[in-house]
């Protein structure tokens, strides 16, 4: 396999493991929430608490993005790859064997928060290193196509988690899933993480990753001056415009992904009234469609540019999302085509997203640049999405949340209209093109 293809597959494996584990938590929260939070609070409050912990995990993503992104820039992209997968698998294993509130009291939710913090650091470090290497290793004119493998891996990870949820909800009763089934799911996540680690090591050796690392500038002169501003503050000061660009279109990318691929199965069960097995089955079908469209969207963006592909899909999503959700029902024949429209638009938007995000920063600041901007957006908006959706539903206004998601895509459409096109810009420019 050519080196760039091996790297692309290895990067997709990392995203697969990450999103399998994160989806497990969101999908099974309705079953294990009562195990970690006092039963006297009631099911709805326990679920809100579980999703609050889910959001806490996102708060640690900026820490992982900044620290591990800096390590990727300083010592090479490959150094963080094995570490991130190992941390993710370790967090799943800890949750699988964790004592409940009835056994150890308040220590149970504290341990749950710690496990999610570890997984948050892992997730924060995975994306910046992966986007940087995917962009730098791709052949000329194929950056969006190869970097789309990141979201293909994410989609397959969510798909596998949904398949596992479908299997468990089809074979076990709700009481059994609440008792031990959710532990089986997280245990499987830990095993899958170890398998993914072995596969990634066989596909992407540290020497390969280091070989793809951009050569550092000279020790003195202009090269030294260019590298001197470092860390979070230095990145924001020297590349603040690029951080704002990424934030403008990354909010929709993160909120849209968590809403449709992670939270939607919960929405179909709790609000629409679908049986859990049916909801997981519908989600699996949609994820297949989504994953197939990603590389096709990447090819289109390499051919016609990032702005038209992502801009028009964002605008369409802003228009159709709320009406589609409002028309959903427990009848699969009604809900399936409505979801198909939403997932198709999301796949088109996500295909070029990693490449566009990476292209906003010069090579020597790409890891920490993406880690700073994307991780902050993911923490502030992506991590709070499921909690906000559950809270608004508890108030009797579930569609308000989807209106909020539609607004993020409207922002992305405006951002895509005003930022410069980067499809033809070299993968290691000194700075992005002039413009906003």
Helix (H) / strand (E) containing 427: none
To the nearest whole number, what is the mean pLDDT of the chain? 79
Nearest to 329, CA basis, from 260, 269, 263, 272: 272
Q: Summarize pLDDT for 275-332 with one digit per residue, the tens.
A: 887 888 888 888 889 989 999 999 999 999 999 999 999 999 999 999 999 999 888 8
CA distance 89 to 111: 16
State both tokens at 164: 């596992």
Letter string b/e over residues 378-417, b meaning 16 or more CB atoms within 10 A of that residue's CB: bbbbbbbbbbbbbbbbeeeebeebbebbbbbbebbbbbbe
Q: Summarize pLDDT for 116-163 with one digit per residue, the tens.
A: 888 888 877 777 777 777 777 777 788 888 888 888 888 888 888 878
pTM of the full predicted structure? Answer: 0.76
200-209: average pLDDT: 56
Q: Summarize pLDDT for 46-97 with one digit per residue, the tens.
A: 777 787 787 777 778 777 777 776 676 676 666 677 788 888 888 889 999 9
Q: Look at the block and give the residue holding tokens 């605008």.
A: 315
Asked if 370 contacts 69 with a C-beta cutoff of 8 angstroms, the reply is yes
């Amino acid at each position: 396999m050519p080196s760039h293809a091996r790297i692309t597959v290895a990067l997709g494996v990392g995203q697969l493991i990450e999103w399998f584990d994160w989806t497990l938590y969101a999908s099974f929260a309705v079953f294990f929430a009562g195990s970690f939070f006092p039963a006297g609070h009631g099911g709805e409050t326990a679920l809100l608490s579980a999703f609050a912990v889910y959001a806490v995990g996102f708060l640690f993503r900026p820490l992982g993005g900044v620290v591990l992104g800096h390590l990727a820039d300083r010592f090479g992209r490959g150094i963080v790859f094995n570490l991130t997968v190992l941390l993710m698998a370790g967090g799943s294993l800890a949750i699988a064997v964790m004592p409940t509130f009835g056994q150890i009291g308040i220590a149970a939710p504290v341990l749950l928060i710690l496990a999610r913090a570890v997984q948050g650091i892992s997730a924060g470090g995975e994306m910046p290193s992966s986007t940087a290497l995917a962009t730098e290793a791709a052949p000329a004119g194929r950056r969006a196509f190869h970097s789309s493998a990141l979201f293909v891996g994410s989609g397959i990870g969510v798909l596998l988690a949904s398949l596992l949820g479908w299997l468990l909800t089809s074979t076990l009763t709700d009481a059994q899933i609440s008792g031990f089934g959710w532990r089986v799911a997280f245990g499987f996540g830990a095993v899958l993480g170890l398998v993914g680690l072995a596969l990634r090591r066989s596909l992407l050796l540290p020497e390969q990753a280091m070989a793809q690392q951009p050569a550092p500038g000279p020790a003195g002169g202009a090269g030294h001056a260019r590298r001197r501003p470092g860390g979070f503050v230095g990145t924001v000061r020297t590349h603040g415009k690029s951080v704002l660009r990424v934030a403008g279109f990354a909010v929709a990318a993160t909120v849209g992904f968590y809403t449709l691929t992670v939270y939607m199965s919960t929405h179909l069960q709790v609000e629409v009234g679908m049986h859990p097995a049916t909801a997981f089955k519908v989600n699996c079908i949609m994820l297949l469609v989504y994953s197939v469209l990603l590389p096709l969207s990447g090819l289109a963006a390499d051919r016609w540019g990032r702005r038209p592909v992502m801009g028009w899909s964002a605008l369409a999503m802003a228009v159709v999302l709320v009406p589609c959700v409002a028309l959903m029902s427990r009848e699969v024949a009604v809900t399936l085509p409505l979801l198909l429209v939403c997932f198709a638009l999301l796949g088109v938007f996500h295909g070029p997203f990693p490449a566009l995000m990476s292209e906003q920063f010069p090579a020597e600041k790409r890891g920490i640049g993406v880690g700073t901007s994307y991780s902050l957006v993911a923490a502030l908006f992506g991590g709070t999405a499921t909690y906000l959706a559950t809270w608004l539903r508890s108030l009797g206004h579930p569609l308000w949340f989807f209106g909020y998601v539609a607004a993020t895509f409207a922002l992305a459409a405006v951002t895509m209209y005003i930022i410069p096109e980067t499809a033809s810009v070299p993968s290691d420019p000194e700075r992005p093109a002039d413009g906003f």
